[in-house]
Amino acid sequence: MMSYNLKKRRMHVIKLIFLSIVAIVVLLPLIIVLSSSFKNESEIFDFPFHLIPRKTILGNFEQLIDTFPIYIFNSVKLTVTIVLVQLVTAATGAYAFSKLTWKGRDFIFGLYLASMMIPMQAVMIPQFIIIRNINLYDSHGALVLLGAFTAFGTFLIRQFFMSIPNTYSEAARIDGAREWTIFLKLLLPMSKAVLVTQIIFSFRFFWNDFFTPLIYITSPELKTLPLGMTDFVREQYVYWGPQMAAALISIIPVLIIFLFGQKYFIQGVSSSGLKG
- Measured from the CB atom, the residue of 125 and 190 that comes closer to another protein is 125
* DSSP secondary structure code for residue 135 in this structure: T
In order of 83, 91, 227, 259, the CA distances from 262 in angstroms are 18, 22, 27, 6
Smallest separation, CB 59 to another protein (Å):
17
Q: What is the DSSP letter of 272?
A: H
Q: Looking at residues 57 to 86 of the shown chain, list those that interact with another protein (rule: CB under 8 A).
A: none
Asked if 138 and 75 touch (Cβ cutoff 8 Å), the reply is no
- 204 counts as binding another protein under rule CB under 8 A: yes
d(C-alpha 154, C-alpha 94), whole Å: 5
Do residues 13 and 209 lie in contact, with contact meaning Cβ atoms separated by under 8 Å? no
Q: How far apart are CA 257 and CA 215, in angstroms?
A: 28
Question: What φ, ψ does residue 58 adopt, rounded to 5°?
Answer: -105, 5
In the complex, what is the shortest distance from the CB of residue 79 to another protein, in angstroms, rounded to a whole number?
12
Contact (Cβ atoms closer than 8 angstroms) between residue 66 and residue 52? no
Residue among 234, 236, 237, 260 that touches another protein (CB under 8 A)? 234
Q: What is the DSSP letter of 217?
A: -
Q: Of residues 52, 65, 102, 174, which one binds another protein by CB under 8 A?
A: 102
Distance in Å, CB of 234 to another protein, minimum:
6
First to last CA, the chain: 47
Q: How many residues bind another protein, per CB under 8 A?
A: 88
Q: Does 48 bind another protein (CB under 8 A)?
A: yes
User: CA-to-CA distance for 187 and 141, rounded, in angstroms?
Assistant: 30
Tell me: does residue 217 bind another protein (CB under 8 A). no
Minimum CB separation from another protein for residue 196, in Å? Answer: 15
Query: Does residue 128 bind another protein (CB under 8 A)?
Result: yes
Stretch that binds another protein, among 9-17, 64-72, 161-169, 187-195 (CB under 8 A): 9-17
Q: For residue 189, state whether it binds another protein (rule: CB under 8 A).
A: no
Binding mask 242-261 for another protein (x = CB under 8 A): -xx-xxx-xx--xx--x---
Are the CB atoms for 222 and 139 separated by under 8 Å? yes
Q: How far is the CB of 128 from another protein (least distance, A)?
A: 7
User: Segment near another protein (CB under 8 A), from 2-10, 76-84, 141-149, 188-196?
Assistant: 141-149
At its nearest, how many Å lie between another protein and the CB of residue 21?
11
AA identity, residue 3: S
* Residue of the chain from 40, 67, 81, 92 that contacts another protein (CB under 8 A): 92
Please list every residue from 148 through 177 that binds another protein, using CB under 8 A.
Answer: 148-151, 154
∠ CA 134-137-141, nearest 5°, is: 80
Residue from 107, 122, 133, 167 that binds another protein (CB under 8 A)? 122
Phi, psi (rounded to 5 degrees) for 126: -60, -40
Q: Which stretch in 16-24, 52-60, 66-74, 162-170 sits in contact with another protein by CB under 8 A?
A: 16-24
DSSP summary character for residue 236: S
